[in-house]
Amino acid sequence: MFSARTSWELLPETTTADLALDLSSSNPTAVGLSPPASALRALAVEEAARYEPAPEGLRDARLAVSDYYRARGAAVDPDDVVLTASTSEAYSFLFHLLADPGDELLVPSPSYPLFSLLADLACVRIVKYPVVFAGGWCVDAGALARAVTPRTRAIVVVSPNNPTGSYLKLGERDALGATGLPLISDEVFLDYARGVDPTRAPTLASRADGLTFTLSGLSKVAALPQVKLGWIALSGPAELVSVARARLHVIADTFLSVGGPVQHAARALLAEAAAVQPAIRARVAANLAALGHALAGAPASVLPVEGGWSAIVRLPATRTADEWARALLQEGVLVQSGELFELPVPACVVVSLLTPEATLVAGAARLRALLDRA
């Protein structure tokens, strides 16, 4: 009665309502880090009362996205922007654009556990290429090259990665480009860098030497996951971009999923990013410092964080990552097991750096107490 593509192992819903200390939430609206409610008044505009079906999105909204990239040193033609309801939908559009059933897409591992579900729904295969840790995170370029087969259709890169926080480096960008395959660059956390690193690759939104699709959206850029606006920025050789744009037009026109109010409000909501991003960076920095202070002298460490909202805590190998997560749960502290992300570092857990500072300090203290008793 049901399709094989949805034959997942369905687990019961769980709740964190009874937990004293939730160190896992990456929802800015739940931790006091979204723009003020007054910012959402931009959604209530008279123009939104008129239905204007535009497959790629309303032009002023696409211009606002173009301006976002211009401020980051990348030239993006608004005609090469396609609006979506989310980055998940953007992935879905691109998987259908680039791959036939049974074709393969290379995705990084570790990474957020989303790609397999999207690939199942698109009837394509996910092949993982390793991102390894050796004092810092890096793409295993040799393993990636060996993973390419005649059925490989594109390479997904997440920069900075979730949860490792590692940015794509210039050499890695070149290694990916050398495959000749289209790149899908997920840059939702691009604006949340820690420090400056001249080896980091800038946004791929204006990459010219290969077909590239750069993804982002208001969920992370402006801490507004509830308003549902993402985008795809196309770049590369003109003839390939032209064909991709024409085909994406049909895909987007088939669904017309982006609401009118958020498109009319896009410019104003993107402007709110300038106010909310400093608060996010400040909390991330404070929480990283608090974690480091709590674990000083303990048999645990926080792995380097280049960007994003997460931190990976490496714990003693006396327990597995899942066992550490369960032990912390018994202490009333919720974290995510490193096994959820297929992290190659044993016995590690992932903590959200968006956590309110007092909550993180209290949770880190319980973790330290658990380590001291072990």
pLDDT per position as a tens digit, 305-326: 999 999 999 999 999 999 999 9
- 124 within 8 A of 107, measured Cβ to Cβ: no
| End position of a domain, from candidates 248, 271, 294 | 271
Q: In the structure encoding, which two tokens stand for residue 65, read together?
A: 């996205």
- 138 within 8 A of 172, measured Cβ to Cβ: yes
End-to-end CA distance of the chain: 50
Domain count, the chain: 2
Q: Is residue 17 over pLDDT 60?
A: no
Q: Does residue 77 sit in the same domain as residue 170?
A: yes
Q: What pLDDT is recorded for position 18? A: 58
In terms of phi and psi (left: phi > 0; alpha: psi -120 to 50; beta: otherwise), the region of 324 is alpha
Phi, then psi, of 3 in degrees rounded to 5 = -75, 150
Q: Domain span at residue 154?
A: 41-271
Angle between helices 238-255 and 87-98 (to 10 degrees): 120
Phi, then psi, of 165 in degrees rounded to 5 = 75, 10
Q: In the structure encoding, which two tokens stand for residue 316, read together?
A: 């003693």
Q: Does residue 222 sit in the same domain as residue 290?
A: no
* Predicted model pTM: 0.96
Amino acid at 118: L
| End position of a domain, from candidates 236, 256, 271 | 271
Lowest-pLDDT range of 32-36, 54-58, 217-221: 32-36
Regarding beta strands 301-302 and 81-84, do their DSSP bridges make them parallel or antiparallel, or are they unpaired? unpaired
DSSP H helices, 161-259, are: 170-177, 218-221, 238-255
